[in-house]
Structure 1
């Protein structure tokens, strides 16, 4: 299991705490430091939809110019922005056996999918 995110994100902290308390030993991938590949983003967008992977509620998205925001209208344009602004990726994203299974944090979702 790999948890993708950034360490100072409260949602990532909640997810890591829940996983640890429920007996999981997740590996953590800090995509601010380690980056993220276009292939990985493509897989996440295929699984969750690019509109979900792109966090439009976060400060990174809100700091983009109106023109930059309006140019994001497809999976390809979203991936381009997410490669440049990794903080705009909704987090955490959890992969099990190399497959994306969860995005963000909801105790109910984690229990139903991981238990």
Structure 2
């Protein structure tokens, strides 16, 4: 089963969901705000794709951080501020993909 992590009101999440739904791809959506992810889950994302891909440097949350905070992004800081996580995070049995592009998602169809 595919799991999609994100925030329900995110435009990129909506695009990714629409893409999968219109192609009949089943997935489970997990909203970071309603069901906070665990430290173990976040660490698994980082282990596969790395911090650079996980952190959304365009987010308001990130931009409002001090330079020191930006240099010291940690698991606990990210768990307290889930909007730091780039969306969507798509988890399959074999891989983790961050962000949305139709080209990237074609392999799930």
TM-score scaled by structure 2?
Answer: 0.91
CA contact (8 A) 2:25 2:108 kept: no
CA contact (8 A) 1:93 1:100 kept: no
2:58 is equivalent to residue 57 of structure 1 = yes
User: C-alpha displacement at 1:67, in angstroms?
Assistant: 2.1
Q: In the alignment, which residue of structure 2 is the partner of 1:20?
A: 21
Residues of 2 paired with 1:100 and 1:45: CA distance? 12
- Superposition misfits of 4+ residues, deviation over 3 angstroms: none
Q: In the alignment, which residue of structure 2 is the partner of 1:114?
A: 108
Residues of 1 paired with 2:71 and 2:91: CA distance? 30
**Matched pairs, number:** 108
Q: In the alignment, which residue of structure 2 is the partner of 1:45?
A: 46
CA contact (8 A) 2:12 2:87 kept: yes
Pick one of 56, 74, 90 that aligns with 1:94. Answer: 90
CA contact (8 A) 1:5 1:12 kept: yes
RMSD (Å), alpha carbons: 1.3
Residues of 2 paired with 1:11 and 1:103: CA distance? 11
TM-score scaled by structure 1?
Answer: 0.86
Q: In the alignment, which residue of structure 2 is the partner of 1:36?
A: 37
Secondary structure of the residue aligned to 2:30 is strand
Structure 2 residue ranges without an equivalent (≥5): none
Higher relative contact order (CA 8 A, sep 6+): 2
Structure 1 residue ranges without an equivalent (≥5): none
Secondary structure of the residue aligned to 2:79 is helix
